[in-house]
Structure 1
Amino acid sequence: MIAKKAAPKKAAAEAVQDSAAKTLKLVLGRLDDMKAEETVTIDLRGKSAFSDYLVVTTGRSNRHVSSIAENVTKGLKEAGQKKLHVEGMANADWVLVDTGEVILHVFRPEVREFYNIERLWTQNTQDDARANLKAV
């Protein structure tokens, strides 16, 4: 009886992973179509409970940033994405598109450099240990 309960949970987890991978592929395809620059994908599985992937990319100008975000949002809606949260379109310095499974950040170059959010998720433990030693 325990094996029967474990199998549906495993199947559900695999279905979520397939969905996240599909969403990621759509997002990356749209970014490529829109000539987004310096795109970085960070795998958050096992590191975060709120999302599977974090994608950070750059647009050349406010107009380019908003166009990228609009194109990705349009593609997600066409693919049937129901839960979609978008922030930052008014200024288009930094636009966040959150699908739940994939979080996309689209920045202008100087804003991306200032916030450097990829560093938060990609620091390795040796760097953290060195930082702690220097702070003491």
Structure 2
Amino acid sequence: MSQISSEEKAKLIADLCEELKAVDIKTIDVRETSTVTDFYVVCTGNSEPHLKAIATRVHMDLKHKDMDYNTVDADEQSHWVVQDYGNVILHIFHPDARRHYNIEEFWMRNSQDTPWDCPENQILRDELMRRNTY
């Protein structure tokens, strides 16, 4: 498949999530505030098997299109799956975990609220620690 833009990739991922009945799908444009990626796609599955089904289907469809992911992180205790497709990162949450982590609020904040003097992964880790993660 020819190279597609990060916007097209984010839409493709969001559409796949919708086909699999993920709910509350949000695409967050972080090109102005992130050095890690261009878009976050965030969605909710209704059970652990549903989260896994969404993650597997997105992985297989993108792999078929030569857009395999860089990394994946999934922990049954956190009820959260993260798949890194370079310029798009997919977050798949169980409803309770999504409410708990509330990463949309974090990434949709005004960029002036972000402390640019530390790495982005440190910012996210500190924010999650502050929220008393599982």
TM-score range, shorter chain: 0.7 to 0.9
Runs of 4+ residues deviating >2 angstroms: 123-126
- Higher-Rg structure is 1
For residue 82 of structure 1, report the CA deviation from its aligned partner: 4.1
CA change 1:125–1:86 in 2 (3 A) is closer
* 2:5 matched residue in structure 1: 19
**TM-score, length basis structure 1:** 0.73
- Distance in 2 between residues matched to 1:73 and 1:125, nearest whole Å: 31
User: What secondary structure is seen at the aligned counterpart in 1 of 2:5?
Assistant: helix
For residue 24 of structure 1, report the CA deviation from its aligned partner: 1.1
* Number of aligned positions between the proteins: 111
- Distance in 2 between residues matched to 1:117 and 1:43, nearest whole Å: 13
Choose from 27, 47, 52 the match for 1:41.
27
Q: Which has the higher helix share?
A: 1
- Distance in 1 between residues matched to 2:111 and 2:31, nearest whole Å: 17
Query: Is 2:22 the partner of 1:69?
Result: no
Identity %: 38
- Distance in 2 between residues matched to 1:54 and 1:33, nearest whole Å: 18
Can you give the 5+ residue segments of structure 1 that lack an aligned partner in the other structure?
1-15, 129-136
Q: Is the 8 A contact 1:26 1:75 kept in 2?
A: no
User: 1:4-45 deviations in whole A, cap 9, x for unaligned?
Assistant: xxxxxxxxxxxx8x5212211220111111010001111011
Query: Is 2:96 the partner of 1:110?
Result: yes
Amino acid of the residue matched to residue 102 of structure 1? V
Q: Is the 8 A contact 1:39 1:58 kept in 2?
A: yes
User: What secondary structure is seen at the aligned counterpart in 2 of 1:76?
Assistant: helix
Amino acid of the residue matched to residue 104 of structure 1? L
For residue 114 of structure 1, report the CA deviation from its aligned partner: 0.6
Amino acid of the residue matched to residue 95 of structure 1? V
User: What secondary structure is seen at the aligned counterpart in 2 of 1:118?
Assistant: helix
- Distance in 1 between residues matched to 2:95 and 2:64, nearest whole Å: 29
CA change 1:48–1:34 in 2 (3 A) is same
- Distance in 1 between residues matched to 2:101 and 2:69, nearest whole Å: 26
**TM-score, length basis structure 2:** 0.74
Amino acid of the residue matched to residue 65 of structure 1? L
Superposed, 1:51-130 pairs within 5 Å as 51-88=37-74, 91=76, 93-124=79-110
